[in-house]
Amino acid sequence: MSLHLNINGDDRLSVKDPLTPLVDVLRDEFFLTGAKVVCREGFCGACTVLLDGRPVMSCLIPVGLADGCTVRTVESLASVGALSPLQQAMEQHDAVQCGMCFPGMMISLTHFLEHTPNPNRDQLKSALTGNICRCTGYERIIDAALSLAAERSSGVQRDDHGKS
Amino acid sequence: MPMTDDRRFYVARSLPDALAALVDGGQAAVPLAGATWIMRAPIRQERQDLSYVAISRIDELRNVEILDHEIRIGACVTHAELATSLAFLPECRAIGQAAGGSANPAVRQVATIGGNLCASKFAAADLVPALMCLQAELDLETPRGPERISLEQFLQVRTSMEPGWLLRRVVVTRAACRSVHVRLPLRKAGDYPVAIVSMAAVLSTSGLVTSARVVVGSVEPAARRWKRLEADLTGCTLDAASAAEKAEKYSEDFRGRDGIEAPGWYRVKVLTSLVRRAVQAIQQES
């Protein structure tokens, strides 16, 4: 049984058992190691990816259910040489931490900000309830996301180098 | 001989296709919807030799139909979809709160109502008490044909049904009641709730409770009604302090399960506070 996935814009074929967690296929078969394997229970969010545009815990998705779907991992957020606006905001707020939870946070926030353009602090905290940080650095991450939302609502656009 | 991949995982394209695959697979075949519970089976040290019939791509299982007299929710509707679909229906507030507050955002995008009701070992399932307090019924497809049973009855038989059955949809009758779903997780970050109280009440124009349903989840292995409390609330004015006193009085009705989140006695102990909060929330509903 072969499974067809579109991962970060590329058509890929997986030959893994359809019950294999999607995160293992991403990491072990396609070497996309941005999504992290941590709890394997859907609690920590380190493996969050976008599946057909929805944030999901890829440790809980059997790859068979992703057959024919589009998958977007943290590797897709930056284009060549340029961070995404969210990533730029994180860098500017010195919010980047150890890298374990961060890819999942970026995916969750990317989706959230696309659907909630003008969030308040509580909404952002709720959006991140499934992304656990062991460095306890939530506040700067939320500050960065709020600043990006504020920029967007005031019409400021970041260029590819992060300049407003 | 080990099962092949194709036998272990089959994606059904229609309801008859799924039912045929489940009958064909016998005791070893189970439906798979969002998979969030099943994918954790190895952690729970459960059997892993089952074969799975994926049903999440069957269109008719993914619909929410809001009719004048009832709401029909397909078994593969996700928690996120359910919360959005029912957000504007005040009589379904308990379901919306349960669907929109369970687990975490990413799990809610995938976990389904059918999975929540059919995962018999999942004591902390939020939708079970919420739906039970609104007297939900289930449409099942069985080898003998379609069958409708109450959720309360389903919980009694769900582990002993003959192979080849499938939960098709959940049906909630629309009624002029107020409802609420109150849960106590240890943190907000996606923990399983220590205890859940779902409550539905019909109030007369003078403010008396003409009927009440109170369902407790996560305290015991399966959710169940708190019948003595229901009876004692009925006929009275809804009052948070009085309801909490009654809850305290009847708390011996439950034997809490010990678990990683909390010992059994604590789960029972917090019910009084949850009942108080539930009544306060119902009073605040317009």
Q: What is the pLDDT of residues A101-148, one digit of tens each?
A: 999 999 999 999 999 989 999 999 999 999 998 887 799 999 999 999
Q: What is the pLDDT of residue B80?
A: 97
Q: Supply the DSSP symbol for A28.
A: I
Examine the domain organization and report whether B190 and B122 are in the same domain: no
Query: Could you tell me where the beta strands, DSSP code E, fall in chain B?
Result: 9-11, 29-32, 51-54, 64-66, 70-74, 137-142, 145-150, 166-173, 178-185, 193-203, 209-217, 224-225
Among chain A residues, CA nearest to B34:
A61
Q: Do B5 and A18 touch (CB under 8 A)?
A: yes
Token reading at B89: 């229906």
Q: Tell whether B94 and B113 lie within a shared domain.
A: yes
Domain boundary pick from B118, B146, B173: B173
According to DSSP, residue A63 is labeled G
Find the domain containing B9 and state its range. Answer: 5-54
Distance (Å, whole) CA B152 – CA B148: 12
Give the residue carrying structure tokens 């650095």.
A137
Alpha helix stretches (DSSP H) within B134-249 = 151-157, 227-233, 240-249
pLDDT at A158: 67
Nearest to B3 by CA among B28, B23, B22: B28
Q: Work out how many domains chain B is built from and give that number.
A: 3
Which pair of structure tokens corresponds to residue A15? 């030959």
Same domain, B169 and B214: no
Sheet with B166-173: list strands edge to edge: B64-66, B70-74, B166-173, B137-142, B145-150
The CATH number for B148's domain is 3.30.465.10
Query: Is 60 exceeded by the pLDDT of residue A162?
Result: no
For residue B36, the chain A residues in CB contact (below 8 A) are: 42, 57, 60
The rounded distance, in Å, linking the Cα atoms of A48 and A130 is 9
Average pLDDT of the residues in A83-108: 93
Low-confidence ranges of chain B (pLDDT < 70): 1-7, 286
Interface check B51 vs A, CB under 8 A: no
Domain's final residue, options B173, B190, B214:
B173
pLDDT of residue A107: 98
The structural domains of chain A, ordered by start, are 3-76 (3.10.20.30), 85-153 (1.10.150.120)
Note the pLDDT of residue B196. 98
Residues B10 and B107 in one domain: no
For residue A68, the model assigns a pLDDT of 97
CATH number at residue B267: 3.30.390.50
* Rounded distance between C-alpha atoms, residue A87 and residue A77, angstroms: 8
Residue with tokens 């708190």: B226
Under the banding of pLDDT at 50, 70 and 90, the label for residue A80 is: confident
Partner-chain contact B190 A130, CB within 8 Å: yes
Whole-number pLDDT of residue A164:
56
**B15 and B120, same domain (yes or no):** no
| Domain's final residue, options B121, B156, B173 | B173
The DSSP call for residue A26 is I
Residue of A nearest to B3 (CA): A17
Assigned token pair, B115: 């999975």
Query: Which segment of A9-13, A149-153, B186-190, B201-205 scores lowest on mean pLDDT?
Result: B186-190
Which DSSP string do the residues of B230-265 spell out, in sequence order?
A: HHHHTTSB--HHHHHHHHHHTGGG--PPP-SS--HH
Res B44: pLDDT: 85
Touching check for B188 and chain A: CB below 8 Å?
yes
Looking at the complex, report in whole angstroms how far the Cα of residue B33 sits from the nearest Cα belonging to chain A.
Answer: 9
Largest CA distance in chain A: 50
pLDDT in tens, A31-79: 999 999 999 999 999 999 999 999 999 999 999 999 999 999 999 999 8
